[in-house]
Amino acid sequence: MKLDIKLLLSASAIALLSLGTAASAQDCERGDLDERFCDTDGDLLADTPTDPAEQIDPDTLIFAYTPVEDPAVYKEAWADFLTHLSEETGKEVVFFPVQNNAAQIEAMRSGRLHIAGFNTGSNPLAVNCAGFKPFTIMAAEDGSFGYEMEIITYPGSGIENIEDIKGQKLAFTAPTSNSGFKAPSAILKADYDMLPDRDFEPVFSGKHDNSVLGVANQDYPAAAVANSVMGRMFERDVVDRDQIVSIYKSQTFPTTAYGVAYNLKPELQDKIRGAFENFEWEGTSLKEEFEKNGEGQFIPITYKEFWEVIRKIDAANGVSYACE
C-alpha cells in the first residue's frame, strides 16, 4: 500500500490538536518536564495519560532514526526491523527521514512522530519537551554499548594536540548533539581552558558525517565527532582511515536511545517495546549496517540512570531544557 507521508503527518497533527485542553498545563509533579506532562513515579519521563480519551492509537505508526547521516542509507537499514514492527503491532509503519535534530524533536512534540531513535544529546530535550519515553539502546553481543567523542584532524594539518586548535576553526555538528557539541565544549572548557570565539572559531556542519567529510577533504582543520558514525563511514569506504588523525578520545557515552511518544495507548507501547525485545538480528538489514559498530542486539535501559552523565554535561554547559 502506497502511503503519502505528508498526509499522514498532517493527520497526526490534527489528532493531537483534538486533545485540546488535555495538553495544557497540569497540576502535578513534573521535575524538568514541560508543563503538559506529569512524572508521578519519579522516573524523569512523562507519564502516559490515565484518561483513555487522551491516549492515541494511530492506524499508521511513524518511525524516525536520528539524522546523523544520509537518511536514504538508514531507510534501507531499518527496513527489516520496520517490517517486524508492523507484524508485531498489526499496523502500517512508515520511515520518516528527518533532516536535523530540532525537526525530529518538533515532530514528536507536535504528535507527528510515534517511535524514534534520538541521538545522545537530543534525548533530554526530546524527553522534557516532546514526551519521548526511551527504553532501549543497541549493544554488542556481550552487552557492551556506547561510543566515544573524538576530536579529529587530517595528516599535515599542523594540529598535533588540543592546544594546537587555538586560533583555528573547530567544527561542531549541532547544538543538541552530545559528542558533536556539548561534550567537547565542556571538556575544552574544563580541561584546557579553551572557549569558543576567544580561543578558536566554532563552525557547525549540521551532521557528524559532514564533519568527518569536512576534515577528510581538509575543509575543516579539526572537528568533534561521534566515533561510531565515523567507524561506519570507514566501513562503507566513504572516507579512508588514512585521511583522519584522532587527537582526543573521551569516555564512553550511551548511544542512540529508542522509545515511543508518551501518549500512545499502553497496550500499543507494550507491543512496540516487545518488537524491540524479540527482534532477531541475524541476516537482517539492521545487522548488516550496525554490525559495523559491533552492535547486534537491543538491551533495556532507563533514562534516569543511563543519561545521568549527559545531564551532568548539560549542567556544566549551562544548558536549559526550557521548551519554547
Residue 92 sits in the same domain as residue 209: no
SS3 of residue 124 by DSSP: helix
Q: Select from 100, 79, 135, 75 the least CA-distant residue to 256.
A: 135
* Domain end position, chosen among 253, 276, 305: 253
* Domain end position, chosen among 204, 219, 253: 253
Q: Parallel, antiparallel, or unpaired for β 60-65 and 92-95?
A: parallel
Residue 280 sits in the same domain as residue 301: yes
Range of the domain at 265: 5-142+255-316
* Domain end position, chosen among 232, 253, 274: 253
Q: Parallel, antiparallel, or unpaired for β 169-172 and 147-153?
A: unpaired
Residue 20 sits in the same domain as residue 133: yes
What's residue 91's pLDDT?
98
What's residue 150's pLDDT?
97
Residue 136 sits in the same domain as residue 152: no
Sign of the C-alpha dihedral, residues 162, 168, 169, 175? positive
What's residue 9's pLDDT?
45
Residue 132 sits in the same domain as residue 268: yes
What is the C-alpha to C-alpha distance for residues 281 and 298, in angstroms, rounded to an integer?
9
Residue 242 sits in the same domain as residue 259: no
Contact 149, 224 (CB under 8 A): yes
What is the C-alpha to C-alpha distance for residues 212 and 222, in angstroms, rounded to an integer?
9
Residue 22 sits in the same domain as residue 126: yes
pTM here is: 0.79
- What is the largest distance, in Å, between two alpha-carbon atoms of the chain? 62
- Nearest 10 degrees: Cα torsion 266, 267, 268, 272: 100
What's residue 201's pLDDT?
98
**Distance from the Cα of residue 40 to its chain's centroid:** 25
DSSP state string for 2-45: ---HHHHHHHHHHHHHTTGGGGS--SS--TTS-TT---TTSSSS
CATH for 32: 3.40.190.10
What's residue 100's pLDDT?
87
Contacts for 4 with CB less than 8 Å, ≥ 6 apart:
none
Residue 291, C-alpha cell as written in the block:
554490525
- How many structural domains comprise the chain? 2
In a domain, 116, yes or no: yes
What is the C-alpha to C-alpha distance for residues 117 and 123, in angstroms, rounded to an integer?
9
For each of the chain's 324 residues, which pLDDT tens digit applies? 334 444 444 444 434 443 433 445 668 999 889 999 999 999 999 999 999 999 999 999 999 998 866 777 889 999 999 999 999 999 999 999 988 888 999 999 999 999 999 999 999 999 999 999 999 999 999 999 999 999 999 999 999 999 999 999 999 999 989 999 999 999 999 899 999 999 999 999 999 999 999 999 999 999 999 999 999 999 999 999 999 999 999 989 999 999 999 999 999 999 999 999 999 999 999 999 999 889 999 999 999 999 998 998 888 888 888 786
In a domain, 208, yes or no: yes
In a domain, 321, yes or no: no
Residue 189 sits in the same domain as residue 245: yes
Contact 64, 98 (CB under 8 A): yes
In a domain, 168, yes or no: yes
